[in-house]
Structure 1
Amino acid sequence: MKVNWRGVYPAVTTQFKEDFSIDHHSNSKMLEQLIAEGVHGIIVCGTVGENCSLSAEEKREVMRQAVEVAAGRVPVLSGVAETTTALAAEYAKDAEEIGIDGLMVLPGMVYRSTEDEAIYHYQQVAAATKLPIMIYNNPITYGVDVSIEGMKVLSAIDNIVAVKEATEDTRRITELYREFGDRFIVFGGVDDIALESLMLGATGWISGLTNVFPQESVKIFNLASEGRYEEAREIWRWFLPLLRLDTIPTLVQCIKFAEQLAGRGSERVRGPRLPLKGEQRAYVEKLYQEAVENRPK
């Protein structure tokens, strides 16, 4: 299966009204703005989209809306973050019917899988759909690493086409290419090592902070793709303090608060998450203001 996934794909937030119902109007406005500013694809219902805080029907509503807004202009992928393999397979079937372009599949939630169990989970989800699938490999957050040996097993499945590499070990990108060549599309999945990942051959970047500064994110990718690393580094060094917010437990609150500061959304999150307060809130505001004051021309 061949897909043309490359570039910067923001993992978009899910916007909520004051009563914490989904704000579909704000979601549409946010998606339109990101597409207009040049992002190459969209990820809905990821970690930043608070997947596990949404009901089953709400997730499907978010997917339908994103597909409708994108209208084929950019690929739209959905995170698959379910508690059981059966529910994940059902979600994949529904996503295909809705018209999503692909799936970013996480291991089963709550239960910390072994590698064999994670591989089984991915196999079953892939068997339930014809959609192209990206494996989300994030052992730091989800407690299981799909190793190179594990990826060998998954390489036998035609519709598993990509991996979001979030081990925080950039050596894994080289290992994937050494072992598999171009068998898998490789996306960098950690904001604060995205440039290094692109330099090592990753063809895409799934990002949280792109929601706040999409134009700079796209420019970093484009410059790196052209081998113009010195120019990319200038923007990268400006961006790095904010990008580090993607690697901490409160990343969702940090990104949403930065979106609010930028006039691009609301900081509302669903419990058990709570909005930032105190020193951490002040720190994020300080980083944002410094970024705006020193924004590259």
Structure 2
Amino acid sequence: MWQGVIPAVTTKFTPDDALDLKEMERCYDGLMQAGCDGLIACGSLGEGPLLSHAERIEVLKLAKQVAGHRPALLTVAEAATRDACVLAEKAAHAGADGLMVVPGTIYHSNHRETVTALRAIAAAGDLPVMIYSNRLAYRVDVTTDMLEELADDARFVAVKESSDDIRRTTEIIRRLGRRYDVLTGVDNLAFEALTAGATGWVAGLAVAFPHETVAIFRLIRAGRYAEALDIYRWFRPLLDLDVSTYLVQNIKLVEALVTQSNERVRAPRLPLDGAQRERVLAVVSEALRERPQLPDVI
């Protein structure tokens, strides 16, 4: 159902901390024009947990408008299952094409609790669901055993695999075949996951470098691995910025430098300063200096 490059988009703010819908529309449209295959709103990179439900629905509606016939998903990441179910219902009423669901964001649920929560959220929204498994950032590992247990509910259609263990992609496909679309959610493991059988990439740095991200995916799909790997090796220092406590600030700074957007974040986050900022500036400067010419690819 969901394949290709689907960026996890950033949320833009005005100087007075309101949603900057005009700037988001400009940025999201650039991703669609570059050939991305959908949008995921209000995830970790989109500062979803710092937005009200009303703000998240507003961002979703904009993403849906810009995505057109391509899917627009809302991230559901709530501490309480009750609140997650409410948000899932709101997303369905707002026209979401699906949900990306993060289990156990504050209380780190066990196997039984995780499966129960995921089932409840899927039932509340009654939409296709991408399960977000990220044991490092969220400390809840949605294991292959859990995916097998959830496979009896057709609403669970995909998994964003972010365990940081490339073996997990192979394990899911070996055990469950193509029951789920497996999308890689770790930018600096994307080549490895896509060549191991993942069918999509929930991408972070795509918000600043969509053409390169799309080229890597399409070259791999076409079996042109060497060309894809050349771009990926150039891209790696940038992709590493996604795997950080400061991924939001990192990537928003990259966006500001590359797409002339802004790097405003919602407190308690603050824009990067000092050595952290200088490091990102250096990575971007080198990347732009050595930016490759992309090959023709369908």
Contact persistence 2:104–2:140 (CA under 8 A): no
Q: Within 5 Å, which residues of 2 pair with 1:21-36?
A: 21-36=18-33
Give the corresponding residue for 1:103. Answer: 99
Q: Deviations over 1:122-154 (max 9, x none)?
A: 010111122100000000011111111111111
Aligned partner of 1:124 among 120, 123, 126: 120
Q: Secondary structure at the match of 1:287?
A: helix
Give the corresponding residue for 1:281. Answer: 277
The Cα shift of 1:264 comes to 4.1
Aligned partner of 1:199 among 195, 198, 215: 195
One-letter amino acid of the counterpart of residue 232, structure 1: A
TM-score (norm 1): 0.97
The CA RMSD over aligned residues, in Å, is 0.9
Q: Deviations over 1:147-188 (max 9, x none)?
A: 111111111111001000000101011110111101000000
Q: Deviations over 1:90-122 (max 9, x none)?
A: 111111111111110001322222222111110
Matched, 1:12 2:9: yes
Q: Within 5 Å, which residues of 2 pair with 1:147-296?
A: 147-296=143-292
Aligned partner of 2:40 among 36, 43, 46: 43
One-letter amino acid of the counterpart of residue 242, structure 1: L
Give the corresponding residue for 2:296. Answer: none
Unaligned runs of 5+ in 1: none
Distance 2:170 2:96 in 1: 30
The Cα shift of 1:58 comes to 0.6
Distance 2:173 2:66 in 1: 34
One-letter amino acid of the counterpart of residue 139, structure 1: R
Distance 2:118 2:260 in 1: 34
Contact persistence 2:41–2:74 (CA under 8 A): yes
* Paired residues, number: 293
Identity over aligned pairs, percent: 45
One-letter amino acid of the counterpart of residue 149, structure 2: V
Q: Secondary structure at the match of 1:59?
A: helix
Unaligned runs of 5+ in 2: 294-298
Q: Secondary structure at the match of 1:266?
A: coil
TM-score (norm 2): 0.96
Contact persistence 1:212–1:264 (CA under 8 A): no
Q: Deviations over 1:49-73 (max 9, x none)?
A: 000110111111111111122222x
One-letter amino acid of the counterpart of residue 61, structure 1: E
Deviates more, 1:42-51 or 1:144-153: 144-153
One-letter amino acid of the counterpart of residue 253, structure 2: F
Contact persistence 2:162–2:184 (CA under 8 A): yes
